[in-house]
A = this chain, B = another copy of it.
Amino acid sequence: MAEYVAPTREIRFVLDHVIDMAELLKLEPFQEVSDDLVQAVLEEGGKFSSEKISPLYAVGDRQGSVLADDGVKTPDGFKDAYQAYVENGWNGICGPVEYGGQGMPQVLGTAVQEMMASANQAFTLCPILGQGAVEALEAHGTEEQQKTYMEKLVSGEWTGTMNLTEPQAGSDVGALRTRADPQADGTYRISGQKIFISWGEHDMAENIIHLVLARTPGSPEGTKGISLFIVPKYLINEDGSLGEKNDLRAVSLEHKMGIHASPTCVMSYGDNGNCVGYLIGGENQGMRCMFTMMNNARLNVGILGLCAAERGWQMALDYARDRRQGKAIGSTSEGKSPIIEHADVRRMLMTIKSTTEAVRAIIYLNALALDMGRHHPDGEVRRKYRGLADLLTPISKAYGTDLGVENSSLAVQVFGGMGYIEETGIAQVFRDARIHPIYEGTNGIQAMDLVGRKLAMDGGEHWQAFLGMTEDFIAAMPEIGELAQYRENLSRITADCRESAEWLLAQQKQNMRDVAAGSVPFLRLMSMVVGGYLMAKAAVAAQTRLESGTGNGDEDFLRAKIATVRFYGEQVMPTAFGLKEMVMGGDSLFYAIEDDHMAL
Contacts and interface: CB of A to CB of B under 8 A. Distances in A.
B413 A435 contact: no
A512 interface: yes
A356 interface: no
20 contacts: A170-B416, A172-B336, A175-B325, A175-B336, A254-B421, A257-B422, A257-B431, A258-B420, A344-B442, A344-B516, A344-B519, A347-B520, A556-B597, A556-B600, A557-B597, A557-B600, A563-B592, A563-B593, A571-B589, A575-B578
A9 interface: yes
Contacts of A600: 9-10, 554, 556-557, 560
Interface string A516-534: 1101100000000000000
Interface of A: 9-10, 165, 168, 170-172, 174-175, 195-196, 254-258, 314, 317, 321, 324-326, 329-330, 336, 338, 340-350, 353, 405, 409, 412-413, 416-417, 419-423, 427, 430-431, 434-435, 437-439, 442-445, 447-448, 489, 512-513, 516-517, 519-520, 554, 556-557, 559-560, 563-564, 566-567, 570-571, 573-579, 581-582, 585, 587, 589-595, 597-600
Which of A519, A582, A594 gathers the greatest number of chain B CB atoms within 10 Å? A582
Given A344-B445, A563-B589, A573-B578, 10 more contacts: A343-B516, A343-B590, A353-B598, A413-B438, A420-B434, A430-B434, A566-B589, A570-B581, A574-B579, A574-B582
B434 A416 contact: no
A256 B567 contact: no
Contact of A325 (B171, B255, B348, B489): B171
A9 to B, nearest CB: 7
| Chain A at the B interface: SS class | helix
A378 B255 CA distance: 58
B340 A595 contact: yes
A442 B422 contact: no
Contact of A577 (B336, B513, B517, B581): B581
A317 to B, nearest CB: 6
B342 A516 contact: yes
A577 B556 CA distance: 34
Nearest 9 interchain pairs by C-beta = A574-B578, A344-B444, A343-B516, A577-B578, A563-B592, A172-B325, A557-B600, A172-B326, A257-B427
B566 A513 contact: no
B571 A582 contact: yes
A171 B326 contact: yes
Contacts of A174: 326
Contact of A567 (B324, B560, B589): B589
A422 B258 CA distance: 10
Contacts of A314: 599
Contacts of A419: 438
Contacts of A434: 409, 412, 420, 427, 430
Nearest to A568: B589
A343 to B, nearest CB: 3
A513 B578 contact: no
B442 A413 contact: yes
A413 B465 CA distance: 33
Contacts of A489: 581
Given A347-B520, A589-B350, A593-B563, A512 B431 contact: no
A258 B317 CA distance: 24
Contacts of A443: 413
A597 B314 CA distance: 13
Nearest to A258: B420
Contact of A590 (B347, B423, B447): B347
A59 to B, nearest CB: 15
Given A342-B516, A513-B329, A599 B317 contact: yes
Give the one of A255, A329, A348 with max B CB within 10 A: A329
Contacts of A175: 325, 336
Contacts of A554: 600
Given A581-B574, A595-B340, A256 B422 contact: yes
A190 to B, nearest CB: 22
Contacts of A413: 437-438, 442-444
A546 to B, nearest CB: 14
A160 B252 CA distance: 44
Nearest to A446: B344
A348 B447 CA distance: 13
A305 to B, nearest CB: 14
A448 B517 CA distance: 36
Contacts of A593: 350, 559-560, 563-564
B170 A417 contact: yes
Contacts of A350: 589-590, 593
A195 B325 CA distance: 16
Given A317-B598, A556-B597, A591 B346 contact: yes
Nearest to A171: B325
Nearest to A174: B326
